[in-house]
Structure formats: structure tokens, C-alpha cells
Amino acid sequence: MERKVRVRFAPSPTGPLHIGGVRTALYNYLFAKQHGGDLIFRIEDTDSNRFVPGAEEYIIESFKWLGINFDEGVSFGGDHGPYRQSERKDIYKKYVQVLLDADKAYIAFDTPEELDAKRAEIENFQYDASTRLMMRNSLVMSKEEVDQLINDGHQYVVRIKIEPGRDVVVHDIIRGDVSINSSVLDDKVLYKSADQLPTYHLANIVDDHLMEVTHVIRGEEWLPSAPLHVLLYEAFGWQDTMPQFAHLPLLLKPVGNGKLSKRDGDKLGFPVFPLEWHDPKSGETSSGYREKGYLPEALVNFLALLGWNPGNDQEVMSLDEMVKLFDLSKCSKAGARFDYVKGIWFNHQYLLNKPAKDWTPEFDALLKTNGIESTPEKEAQVVEMMKTKVIEYVDKENNKKKRNISFVSDLWPLCKFFFVAPDSFNKDDKFIRKNWNEETAGMMRQLVDILSNVDDFTIENQKAAVDPWAEQTGLRPWNAWRVALVGAGQGPDMYELSAFLGKQETIKRINFAITSLSCE
């Protein structure tokens, strides 16, 4: 029988969600939606030493912001719960017993000191078929002895009993069949009496089974655990419903070798977390895509293409389009380079497609922090005039660069002159030097006269008055006009800017420039 597709994203709440984890969740989402299946959100918090307060809430908030919705799980509900592993202790206990009863696992009493001693004695010591009979475990003890030790309060672990000498094959949708000989695997710990908790491996397999997971889509770093997981499914007798695996390619550093790290982000100036994260222990703050002004749709689109593409050169895609086009089997095996500059490009694309009125809440906040109050209407007009401009900036390596406006915050200081008149002019400025000389004041006085006579100060009316004068006299007032209104060689068309500023302000600025720049 065809099973309904069910996939899960199963983070451990050990800190903020890494951007690679976001990509994993996204691929699970695309796959689930494409197959009309379910996406489960499970919290794998059995390692209490690594638990970080606030991490779970952070992860949930991240996906809310990103628009990646789960069908069931922690905070979403569903009938396969509880979805937090720390609330499933009794379930794991039961399944540990199932393995012990079936002789697929055994109890081991070796203390950490005894294990260290063995490691010192035997080179490359591994707890496996070749060594386990030399150790202190239920394979070499009588039942009475084992019970006695447990009753006396000795701590123990439960280990999987791996049969040596057979090939274990992991069928991976992206990588094909990955085969490994069971002799190289060790008898991994599945359960610890000390905290009465299962390890990741056991909890993960039991939950995937009970939650009816059909596909395990996760990062490449979990591939080494997959053979053990296959053996666990077999040990439980669940091989018929074993999920299919897909191990996603690693996200690589923007430059150089190795996997993307937070340090790369710090060095090159991009976030590796979706939201800003305040570390409760160190007090350190790490930047987030949201706070940096990225649009969630842009980030999702950028991440989707790190390890997969639709087979043509289409890059900008809505989530719905991605759901249609996504193909898990066409994901790359090779690592995907984290080209953060491409992420900025995506943000530019998405920002440009947003109507100006959607920019204004953020733009308004930006203006306010610079001491400027305006109206949403005025702000939308400014955005409309400026959104396709190019900005100059200095990158982390101190190189002067240019790029399209990619964040709302790029608009400042580019838009200052719309709201604040120049209060002085830098006579060394190349643009000013070139466009303001002894004759300019006279020309600008004429311009003031002409503009004073324009009643309704629209772009068209200004044009109708100024253009014929410029034509007849051969005067070219536009650059000097720009000097007066902007104070520099930037900004929109002069008629547009003057209409925005209004007649009074325009004339005031021109008069101020005449006095400031002509009294040598």
C-alpha cells in the first residue's frame, strides 16, 4: 500500500538554528507539499547537557517568519505526539526492552575508567563483536549477576549488538546505494541508566517509526549514522516501513574549503542565522537575516537553490513554484557554495517587486532613527523615485563597491535631501566645482523667477515653463539645480524632486545655494 508521505524536521535545541538547518527544513517542506504529505516538527532534546533555553522558541519563531509551515509537531499539535523527545521517555524505555528481549541489544556495566583503560591497552579499540566478550556486560554474565548489579544501583548502558561481517546498504535518494561493512561499526550506546534517556540514535528511529515517517531528508553530516539506523530498523523488525533516506549536500564556505561556519559570516559580514540570537550564557549577539533587512521570501528562494536547481536558469521562484518544480533526486551530491552576495541579489529582486507602500513601515522607522518625521505618502514617493538607484559602499575588506539598492536601509543616507535641505556646500566636491561657476548664480536667479510663476507645481507645469527658456537661451540649469536641492551629484530627476519638495522649499534651497556658493 502507498503510504502517505510524512517527513520531519528534528532539530536539537542546542542554540540558534543554523542557516543549513533552514535549508534542510525547506527541502522537507517542498517535498511534503509536493506529495500532499505532512511535515512534522520534532524536538530532539534527549541530550540535556546541550540544552539551551530559548532555542526551541527561536526555531519556531524563525519558521513563522520564513513562512515555512508545519502540519504537526511541537506547538502545532497532531495525533502522533508528544513531539518533544524529553516527554517520550517511557516510550523509549519500552523499546529498549524490546531490543533486549530479542537479543539485539545488551546491557553493559563498563565504567568510563574501564573503557579508557581498554582504549589505552588496545589500539583503535572499538566496542564490537571482536572485543565485547572481554568486557563487563550481560553477554558474559548470568542473568542473576546482571540483576544484582542493577539492584545494587550500578549504572549501565544498553548497546546495540551488531553482527559483524555483512554489508549494510543505505539506499539514498541523492547518493544512490551507500554500502558499509558492519564490522567497522561499533556497538553504539542506545540508552543510559544514569539519566534514563535514550541516545539520539534510538530516539530518532523509534520516533520516525511511530510517527510514520516515510522519508528522512537531512544534512550530509548524518550520513555516517545511517548504517546504524538501518540496522536498528532491522533489529526492531521494521524494515518494511523503513523510511527512504536523502542526505543533502553540505553548505560550503563562500571562499576556500570546508563547511560554512559562523566565523565566515562574521568575517565577510553576513548572518548565518535566520533571526538575531542572544546567547543566554555568553551574552553574545549574533546577527540574523530578519534584522539585517532580508525579506523571508528572498531568503527562502536563495536557500532553495543551494543544492538544487530546476534544470533551467530560472532563479526567482515563489514557494508554490518551488513546490511544483522541486526534485529531491536531482539534488547535488557535491557541497553547495554559500554565495552570500547572491543572497543580497535575491533580496534586491524581491524588494523591487514590492510596491512602495510595503517599504514604508521600515523606511519610516529608518527615518525616525535619523530624526525625521514624514508621512507614508511622501515616503512611498521617495521609494518610487529611488528604488532603482545604485549605492556605493565599502565592504569588510575595505574595497569600494557599488550595488543596487538591496535593503530598505540602503535608502539612508541616499534619501536624506528629500527631508533635510543642504546646510552647506562642499566646494571641493567635484560635482559642485564642475557645475557651479561665476555665471551660475545669474542663471539660477532666472530659474527662480520662472519657477515662482508656476502656480500648480507639478512636473508637467515646471517643464512647460523651464524647458522653452532653456531651449531659447541655451542655458542648462539642471546640474546646478541639483547642487542646490541635493548638495551633491545624486538624486532623481530635478522636476520630480522639485515637485516633491514643493515650490516654496525648492525656491528656498536655490536661493540658499546662490548666497552660499556665490559670496567668494
Catalytic residues: 262
Question: Which are the contacts of 355, defined by CB distance < 8 A and separation ≥ 6?
Answer: none
Q: Does 454 bind ligand GLU (CB under 6 A)?
A: no
Question: Which are the contacts of 13, defined by CB distance < 8 A and separation ≥ 6?
Answer: 43, 45, 51, 52, 55, 56, 59
Cα–Cα dist 311/115, whole Å: 52
Minimum CB distance to ligand GLU smaller for 233 or for 419 = 233
Contact indicator for 221, 13 with CB cutoff of 8 Å:
no
Contact indicator for 287, 276 with CB cutoff of 8 Å:
yes
Binding region for ligand GLU (CB under 6 A) out of 9-17, 49-57, 256-264, 366-374: 9-17
Binding region for ligand GLU (CB under 6 A) out of 10-18, 158-166, 308-316, 407-415: 10-18
Minimum CB distance to ligand GLU smaller for 213 or for 485 = 213
Binding region for ligand GLU (CB under 6 A) out of 8-16, 62-70, 158-166, 436-444: 8-16
Q: Does 12 bind ligand GLU (CB under 6 A)?
A: yes
Q: How far is the CB of 174 from ligand GLU (least distance, A)?
A: 14
Q: Does 46 bind ligand GLU (CB under 6 A)?
A: no
**Amino acid at the residue 443:** M
Minimum CB distance to ligand GLU smaller for 188 or for 218 = 218
Q: Which three cell numbers stand for residue 292?
A: 539585517
Q: Does 11 bind ligand GLU (CB under 6 A)?
A: yes
Q: How far is the CB of 21 from ligand GLU (least distance, A)?
A: 7
Residues 192-211 that bind ligand GLU (CB under 6 A): 204
Q: How far is the CB of 37 from ligand GLU (least distance, A)?
A: 16
Q: Which three cell numbers stand for residue 481?
A: 539645480
Q: Does 347 bind ligand GLU (CB under 6 A)?
A: no
Binding region for ligand GLU (CB under 6 A) out of 5-13, 137-145, 351-359, 404-412: 5-13
Contact indicator for 218, 170 with CB cutoff of 8 Å:
no
Q: Does 301 bind ligand GLU (CB under 6 A)?
A: no
Contact indicator for 289, 273 with CB cutoff of 8 Å:
yes
Cα–Cα dist 79/215, whole Å: 19
Q: Does 218 bind ligand GLU (CB under 6 A)?
A: yes
Cα–Cα dist 33/132, whole Å: 46
Cα–Cα dist 427/425, whole Å: 6
Strand 277-278 to strand 285-286: parallel, antiparallel, or no bridges (unpaired)?
antiparallel
**Cβ count near 142 (within 10 Å):** 9
Cα–Cα dist 171/176, whole Å: 6
Q: Does 10 bind ligand GLU (CB under 6 A)?
A: yes
Binding region for ligand GLU (CB under 6 A) out of 6-14, 116-124, 290-298, 449-457: 6-14
| Per-residue contact string for residues 219-248; x = within reach of ligand GLU by CB under 6 A | ---x--------------------------
Among 44, 187, 207, 410, binds ligand GLU (CB under 6 A): 44
Cα–Cα dist 253/335, whole Å: 10
> H/E element holding 55?
helix 55-66
Q: Does 55 bind ligand GLU (CB under 6 A)?
A: no
Cα–Cα dist 159/191, whole Å: 7
Q: How far is the CB of 41 from ligand GLU (least distance, A)?
A: 12
Radius of gyration in angstroms for the set of CA atoms belonging to the chain, rounded to a whole number: 33
Size of the site for ligand GLU (CB under 6 A): 7
Q: Which residues bind ligand GLU (CB under 6 A)?
A: 10-12, 44, 204, 218, 222
